[in-house]
Amino acid sequence: MKVLVAVKRVVDSGIKVRVKPEGIDLQGVKMTINPFCEIAVEEAVRLKEKKLIAEIVAVTIGPKQGAESLRHALALGADKAIHVTTEARIDQTVQPLDVANILAKLVERDNYNLVLMGKQSIDDDFNQTGQMVAGLLDWPQATFASNIQITDGIAQVVREIDGGLQTVKFKLPGVITCDLRLNQPRFASVPNIMKAKSKPLETIPLEKLGKLHNSIQITKTEAPSIRKGGAIVENVDVLLQKLRNEAKLF
Ligand code: AMP
């Protein structure tokens, strides 16, 4: 069984970004693999360790630096990588439908049995791509996975939903998007980082697989409003008065 794992390169979650009207300023900013994608790679590696899958292929769509996320996935245990290259901004111009179209084309080209993805990219927070890949391939999907079991070609997935946990199952092939509690990714060891450098990495220009649709125009990007400082009040009466007169809560 072959698994395609989609990994996106995003701004590191520990970075305080500079927001400009035209988007986040990426100049000199530390980038990293999207945390939910790292969880997806870890899950693929665990499935391979249990001998449930034979091959893990990591794919990213984005500029040349995206190769760093692929090398990270290879160091964690992916066998091969595919870099679909474009210089367009992947947090703005390359949108979920574009990514989904490309992933669906790769699935058709290479015959994967499972696509593992992050539930969401932490830069654009779309939470759309996995669902679109499943739609385009007409495959079943399980989103927000916190547990995955595969037995005899059937995937059983525990999903994190508002009311608790929902268990679903479907016959593979299918798409699964990974949530935070699915696993704790391992650290890449130095020997594995070295080994990753010689694993196969195929590069394909995006134009060979599709085109960008620009179906969504981002009209403005704003930083969240600055939080005003708190104050300690003398007693409950003053608190109520402030809530009524200043915060106008009632
Ligand atoms: P999103 O729908 O943008 O929140 O992204 C959900 C998931 O789609 C991510 O966690 C990745 O697995 C995948 N994805 C999105 N954009 C890319 C990209 N440029 N390259 C590879 N995978 C991507």
- What pLDDT digit, counting tens, does each position of 188-212 carry? 999 999 999 999 999 999 999 999 9
One-letter amino acid at 154 equals I
Decide if 168 contacts 142 (C-beta within 8 A).
Answer: yes
Distances (CA, A) of 74 to 52, 99, 175: 18, 21, 21
**Token pair belonging to 85:** 């290259």
**Token pair belonging to 87:** 């210089």
pLDDT at position 10 is 97
Alpha-carbon dihedral 162, 167, 170, 172, rounded to 10 degrees: 90
**With a 6 A CB cut-off, is 129 part of the ligand 1 pocket?**
yes
pLDDT band at 53 (very low <50, low <70, confident <90, very high): very high
Select from 121, 124, 178, 215 the residue to mutate for testing ligand 1; criterion: most ligand atoms less than 8 Å from CB.
121
pLDDT at position 131 is 98
pLDDT band at 231 (very low <50, low <70, confident <90, very high): confident
Work out whether strand 141-151 and strand 9-11 pair parallel, antiparallel, or are unpaired: unpaired
Considering only CA atoms, give the Rg of the chain.
21
pLDDT at position 22 is 86
Q: Alpha helix (H) ranges present in 22-151?
A: 35-49, 67-76, 96-110, 129-137
How much is the pTM? Answer: 0.92
Segment among 108-117, 128-137, 222-231 with least mean pLDDT: 222-231
- Angle 127-130-198 from CA coordinates, rounded to 5°: 110
**With a 6 A CB cut-off, is 124 part of the ligand 1 pocket?**
yes
pLDDT at position 248 is 86
pLDDT at position 229 is 80
- Cα of 90 vs centre of ligand 1, distance in Å, is 9
Decide if 10 contacts 121 (C-beta within 8 A).
Answer: yes
Q: What is the DSSP string of 120-174?
A: --TTT----HHHHHHHHHT--EEEEEEEEEEETTEEEEEEEETTEEEEEEEESSE
**Residues in contact with 145: Cβ distance below 8 Å, sequence separation at least 6, in sequence order:** 43, 119, 157, 158, 159, 160, 176, 177, 178, 179, 182
**Residues in contact with 211: Cβ distance below 8 Å, sequence separation at least 6, in sequence order:** 98
pLDDT of 83 strictly over 90:
yes
pLDDT at position 3 is 98
Q: Whose CA is nearest to atom 10 of ligand 1?
A: 118
Report how far residue 76's alpha carbon sits from residue 188's, in angstroms, rounded to the nearest whole number.
5
Work out whether strand 174-178 and strand 114-118 pair parallel, antiparallel, or are unpaired: parallel
- Cα of 228 vs centre of ligand 1, distance in Å, is 34
